[in-house]
Structure formats: structure tokens, C-alpha cells
């Protein structure tokens, strides 16, 4: 019996122009599908796009180029749209799910963490968006059927009909896409020019500016550069030698106070002792058991979380990348930190911050850093506010309560608290329209704008100082050993062009490296204070002398954590923190390409030995951030 010929379904052949127009139309459909999948109202997104029409192009363009690239290979626009649309829609859905369980969208860097993603997926209760999945599958089926019936006419240029020509066409489209990602989509100025309802909340930015555009923008953000001379095998060998359980069981309370500074100690101010905004800070400095100086933090007038990263991990934000980065956004897996050192020694470890959990992605990062307990404003009972921010006095009360709970439980406490009250902006209405600020005691000739900024800011300094005084009084009365560390995360923003700083004649040069004035733009004061019980436990004078701190106590923020660990007898528990202490003794300050040596010399030139120390520090940091598997 002869087999009947099965007649293939007729295919409608589109010409070149029709194919291109269809590709544009399908790119628009895929873009709408990706936007609809996100956890927001499509109507609201389109409203944002109408007011900022460039977003339409920026969201559609990468998808359109992908459709053209695969259409060149398949010779069929619908086949290309089926593949590109399905992949993009499922990627958008993955972002939606990630936002629901982790409060952050999918970033390009997540593709390098697929192993971690799959291992962590079981720890979350995922609500699958079945309607979304069904719509994506329907789209996939419809475009697949359309590809069966609608084809494209052969390319009019015969040389381009071969596989070589198809690959060349695809390569051309992808090359344009890569070039756009590295230029247009990489532009922070363009990205920041768009208006969103909350520019600091990444899921809101993704939802309102569009997932395709934001995803492409993040190909070039939060990068971590591979240092010269890096060897993974060599870096792994440095990790050998953890010896937990060596330290003394003293309670350690670290308070990083928002924008805290000793600005009022400069010669332009003339406060009498009884009116001194820093009277408690100065009293702590003069006490019998105190180390003080300045920490050189990563940023000027901003970058709170970067200072947290430097202090807690010993790594340096400014060394992660040649471009400006947010350290917490570069973190996406478990890291070694002070929390983990104290965890292995049986401490209760916790992080407190009276702000939003999503800001700087802290709710995820502090889990990766190993904090056993994490509390934000939403977790606190009846927080007290001064203006829009939770007060430092309220946070002092929280620390007292947490300390008492740890003592009652019979475990020593390691607490890291980041305050928020003195956060900018320092406008006259910060604490309410009728708030009466104390007069400035200054000999400087200030403009009205600078005077307002300083009045408001210094009022916050008074409250921060009162917090320090309350804590030292409270812990002084305790028989339990306590070490209190108190410092500022960065200097305050006091007007465009450093307005108030210039009018005070401080001469800070945050953009001009290599000088003392450059470093001073990044210096905030610190005290490491111990109550009598801790001083006795630690043999304070002998131990402090062994730290070999610079005469003026100046050190980079990345050394503050290792200094505290060494002070409490933990210098050899972690080979990483032990190495930090070694480097600190040679280079107490590292700020990009500006350094301060042990004798206080500020320089941009290092000896060969110093370069070797720094190279190992950079390579080790890279390994820990990118590759070390921390349980």
C-alpha cells in the first residue's frame, strides 16, 4: 500500500519589511507581558511611561534586538518571539517571586548563583502565580502555532541566506545590544533622571521604570573587580587556621550613630563647657578605660551601609570596584563577619536598626553576615520619633533592654546598632515648624543657609551625645563586663559644594586624594569604652598598649572590627581578622590610593612590602566575597 503524502500546512510568507514590523510589534507584546507579570498594576506602570516616554523605548529595545537576533537564526519571527518572550516572561516571573520572598528583584548577577538559588529555594514558602504561568504557556503555544503557519521569505541577498549570514545577522543584533548595555543602559545619570515614588526601594524602581530596563541597567552595577595577581588556590590556602573560643566573655555593644561627628570641636565654634554638644563624648574620652580617635569611612556625606560593611567584614567598599558601588548590593551569599566570630564563641548576636528593612537590602545582608537576630523599626514596640526618625534615646532604651535579656539568659551579647535620628535633611522643619533650636556658638561668618544646616545638624549631635552618656552611665553601674564602641558612619551633608564646611574654613577635599584634607573629609570620631568589670577582665592598659594603635588613634573603618576582636582576646580566632590587624600596624589608613603609614605620614606611594600586604588583602577580600563557602 502506498503511503499517502501528508500535505504540509500552507505558510504565509512575510516580506522583509513586514517581518521587521512584526518583530517590533511582538517586542512590544513581550514587553507588556513582562510588565504585566511584575507585582504591580500595569495601568500604573503605563501611566509612569506616559509621563516619561523614553522608558517605552528603553524597555522595548533590548527585547526587540533579541527578537531580531533569533529571527535571523530561525528564519522566522514567531519562532524567535516564542523563545524570547517565554524566557523573558519567566525571568520576569522569577523576579516577582524573588520580590515576594526576599524583597528584591532578580539581578543579572543571580545567574552566577544558580546553585545557591536552588539550595535556598526550599527555605522559602513560595506562592506560585499560576495565572501568570498559564498566560505565559498560552503565549508560548500561540506563538509556536503562528510560527507553523507564518514564515518569512528568503533574504533578498543570497549571501546572507546561508548559516553564516544568519549568524552574522544575529551577531550584529547582539553586538548592538551589548554596546547599548555598556553605554546607554549603564548610565547612572540617565537611570537617576527618571522619577519614581521611592527611588531608594529597589522593587519600586523596578516596578515603575520597567523590569527589562532595570534588569539591563544592573548588568553594570554592583560589580566586583578581580584584583591583579589573584589566585583562587592561593586565597583558599589563607583560610586555614580558625581557632574559636579564645576570647574573654565580655559583652560588646557597637553603636554606629547616623552622621555623628566632632565638627563642633573645630576652631570656628566657641561653646562653653556646660553647653558643649559633645560633653558626654569628651567625658568618655577622658575616662580611665577608653580608646579614641577617628575612623576613615568609605564615603563623604553618605553611604551608611558601606561603613557597616567595612566594619563588620573587614573588607573595603572602595576596593570592590573601580566604579562607585554599594557594598551591600554586591553581597549575595554568606560572608565571614564579626557576627560569625562571636557566634562560634557562644554569644547572642543581633543587629538593630530603627529604619526600613528593605533599605540597602539589610534584611537579607544581615542574614548573610550571620546575625542571629535582626530588628527594624517595624519590629520595635512603640518607637519614639523626633521628626520623621526614631530617636537615639529610644534606641538607647532598646540596647538596655536587649542587654538585660541577654544577661538573664546567661549568654554574652554582641550587638551592632545603626541609628537614624540625625539623618539628613537638615532643614528648619526637621523637628516641626515650631521647634526652637539652640543658637550656634561660632565666630564664623555664616550664610543663613549654612546657619540653618548647622543648627539642625548640631541638635542631632546633642541627642547622639546624650545617647552615649546614657549608655556609659547605664553600663557603668553593671557588674557585667561591657565594651561599648560608638562612632559615626560618615560626615553630614551640609549644603551643595560643601557649603557649611567651606564657611567654617575646614578646607575638606573629598574629591582630591593624596592629602590630609582629603582624609579628613572621611574621618568620624570613635570611642571604645569599657566599664570597670570589662577593664579588669581584659587587663585594659596592657591590652590596649599591645594594639599598637597610631598615636592619634586614626584607622580605616575596615580595621575597627578587627581591633575590637583583638581587644577582647580574639586576635587569632580568625586568620582573616588576624591579617587585618597585621596590615593595620603597617598601613592604619587605606583610602583608595591614599594611605597613612604607622608614623602618621600621608602618602600615595607604597614600599614593595606594603604593596605586597595590600595585594594580599585585596585578593583575599575578592575570594571571600565571591567564592568562599560559608555555612
Instruction: Place 153 in a pLDDT band, splitting at 50, 70 and 90.
Output: low
User: Where do the structural domains in the chain lie, given as residue ranges?
Assistant: 12-217, 250-626
pLDDT at 118 over 80: no
Distance CA 489, CA 591 (A): 15
* pLDDT reported for residue 158: 56
Residues paired with 351 in a beta bridge? 374, 416
Strands (E) across 396-471 are located at 413-418
DSSP result, 350-369: EEE-SS-TTGGGHHHHHHHH
Distance CA 228, CA 217 (A): 26
pLDDT at 284 over 90: yes
Residue 269 CA to chain centroid, in angstroms? 35
* pLDDT reported for residue 517: 94
Instruction: Place 112 in a pLDDT band, splitting at 50, 70 and 90.
Output: low
- Give the pLDDT confidence of 406-428 residue by residue, as tens digits: 999 999 999 999 999 999 989 99
DSSP result, 57-120: HHHHHHHHHHHHHHHHHHS-HHHHHHHHHHHHHHHHHHHHHHHHHHSS---GGGGGGHHHHHHH
Residue of 582 and 111 predicted with greater confidence: 582
| Average pLDDT for 488-509 | 94
Instruction: Place 513 in a pLDDT band, splitting at 50, 70 and 90.
Output: confident
* pLDDT reported for residue 497: 87
Domain covering 250-626: architecture: 3-Layer(aba) Sandwich (3.40)
Lowest mean pLDDT among 40-44, 205-209, 524-528, 559-563: 40-44
Contact 276, 505 (CB under 8 A): no
* pLDDT reported for residue 136: 94
Contact 614, 587 (CB under 8 A): yes
DSSP structure class, residue 265: G
Lowest mean pLDDT among 104-113, 167-176, 353-362, 572-581: 104-113
DSSP result, 530-594: E-HHHHHHHTHHHHHHHT---TT--EEGGGHHHHHHHHTT-TTT-HHHHHHHHHHHH-SEEETTE
Record the cell numbers describing residue 568, joined without a space: 577582647
Give SS3 for 156: coil
pLDDT at 596 over 90: yes
| Helix, strand, coil distribution of the chain in percent, nearest 5 | 50, 10, 35
Residue 518 CA to chain centroid, in angstroms? 23
pLDDT at 91 over 60: yes
- Our CA angle for 348, 351, 355, nearest 5°, is 155
Distance CA 298, CA 312 (A): 13
Amino acid at each position: 500500500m502506498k503511503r499517502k503524502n501528508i500535505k504540509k500546512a500552507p505558510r504565509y510568507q512575510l516580506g522583509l519589511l513586514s517581518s521587521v514590523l512584526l518583530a517590533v510589534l511582538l517586542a512590544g507584546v513581550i514587553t507588556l507581558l513582562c510588565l504585566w507579570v511584575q507585582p504591580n498594576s500595569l495601568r500604573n506602570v503605563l501611566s509612569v511611561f506616559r509621563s516619561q516616554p523614553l522608558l517605552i523605548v528603553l524597555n522595548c529595545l533590548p527585547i526587540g534586538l533579541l527578537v531580531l537576533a533569533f529571527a535571523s537564526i530561525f528564519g522566522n519571527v514567531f519562532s524567535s518571539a516564542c523563545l524570547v518572550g517565554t524566557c523573558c516572561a519567566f525571568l520576569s516571573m522569577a523576579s516577582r517571586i524573588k520580590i515576594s520572598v526576599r524583597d528584591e528583584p532578580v539581578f543579572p548577577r543571580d545567574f552566577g548563583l544558580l546553585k545557591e538559588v536552588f539550595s535556598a529555594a526550599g527555605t522559602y514558602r513560595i506562592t506560585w502565580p499560576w495565572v501568570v504561568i498559564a498566560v505565559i504557556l498560552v503565549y508560548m503555544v500561540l506563538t509556536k502555532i503562528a510560527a507553523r503557519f507564518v514564515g518569512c521569505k528568503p533574504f533578498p541577498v543570497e549571501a546572507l541566506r546561508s548559516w553564516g549570514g544568519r549568524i552574522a545577522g544575529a551577531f550584529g543584533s547582539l553586538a548592538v545590544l551589548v554596546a547599548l548595555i555598556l553605554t546607554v543602559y549603564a548610565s547612572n545619570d540617565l537611570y537617576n533622571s527618571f522619577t519614581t515614588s521611592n527611588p531608594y526601594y529597589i522593587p519600586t524602581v523596578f516596578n515603575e521604570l520597567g523590569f527589562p530596563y532595570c534588569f539591563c541597567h544592573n548588568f553594570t552595577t554592583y560589580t566586583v573587580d578581580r584584583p591583579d595577581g589573584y589566585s583562587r588556590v592561593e586565597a583558599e590556602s589563607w583560610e586555614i587556621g580558625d581557632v574559636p573560643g579564645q576570647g574573654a566573655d565580655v559583652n560588646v555593644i557597637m553603636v554606629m550613630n547616623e552622621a555623628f561627628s566632632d565638627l563642633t570641636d573645630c576652631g570656628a565654634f566657641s561653646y562653653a563647657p556646660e553647653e558643649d554638644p559633645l560633653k558626654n563624648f569628651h567625658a568618655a574620652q577622658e575616662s580611665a578605660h577608653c580608646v579614641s580617635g577617628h575612623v576613615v569611612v568609605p564615603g563623604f556625606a553618605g553611604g551608611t551601609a558601606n561603613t557597616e560593611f567595612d566594619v563588620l567584614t573587614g573588607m573595603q567598599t572602595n576596593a570592590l570596584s573601580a566604579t562607585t558601588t554599594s557594598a551591600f548590593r554586591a553581597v549575595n551569599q554568606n560572608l565571614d563577619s564579626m557576627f560569625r566570630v562571636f557566634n562560634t564563641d557562644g554569644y547572642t548576636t543581633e543587629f538593630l536598626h530603627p529604619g526600613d528593612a528593605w533599605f540597602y537590602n539589610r534584611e537579607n545582608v544581615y542574614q548573610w553576615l550571620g546575625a542571629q537576630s535582626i530588628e527594624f523599626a517595624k519590629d520595635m514596640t512603640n518607637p519614639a520619633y523626633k521628626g520623621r526618625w526614631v530617636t537615639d534615646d529610644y534606641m538607647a532604651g532598646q540596647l538596655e533592654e536587649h542587654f538585660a535579656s541577654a544577661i538573664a539568659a546567661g549568654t554574652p551579647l554582641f550587638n551592632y546598632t545603626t541609628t537614624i535620628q540625625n539623618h539628613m535633611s537638615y532643614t528648619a522643619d526637621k523637628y516641626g515648624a515650631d521647634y526652637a533650636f539652640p543658637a550656634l556658638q561660632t565666630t564664623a561668618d555664616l550664610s543663613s543657609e549654612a546657619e540653618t544646616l548647622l543648627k539642625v545638624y548640631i541638635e542631632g549631635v546633642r541627642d547622639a551625645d546624650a545617647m552615649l552618656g546614657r549608655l556609659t552611665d547605664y553600663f557603668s553601674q553593671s557588674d557585667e563586663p561591657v565594651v561599648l564602641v560608638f562612632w559615626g558612619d560618615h560626615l553630614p551633608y551640609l549644603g551643595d559644594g560643601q557649603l557649611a564646611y567651606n564657611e567654617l574654613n575646614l578646607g575638606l577635599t573629598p574629591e582630591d586624594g593624596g592629602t590630609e584634607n582629603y582624609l579628613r573629609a572621611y574621618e568620624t570620631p570613635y570611642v571604645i569604652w569599657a566599664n570597670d568589670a570589662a577593664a579588669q577582665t581584659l587587663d585594659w592598659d596592657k591590652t590596649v598598649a599591645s594594639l599598637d594603635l597610631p598615636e592619634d588613634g586614626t584607622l580605616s573603618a575596615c580595621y575597627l572590627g578587627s581591633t575590637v576582636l583583638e581587644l577582647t582576646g580574639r586576635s587569632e580566632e580568625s586568620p582573616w581578622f588576624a591579617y587585618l590587624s597585621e596590615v593595620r600596624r603597617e598601613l592604619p589608613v587605606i583610602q583608595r590610593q591614599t594611605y597613612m603609614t604607622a608614623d602618621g605620614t600621608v602618602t600615595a606611594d607604597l614600599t614593595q612590602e606594603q604593596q605586597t600586604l595590600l595585594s594580599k588583602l585585596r585578593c583575599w577580600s575578592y575570594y571571600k566575597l565571591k567564592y568562599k563557602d560559608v555555612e
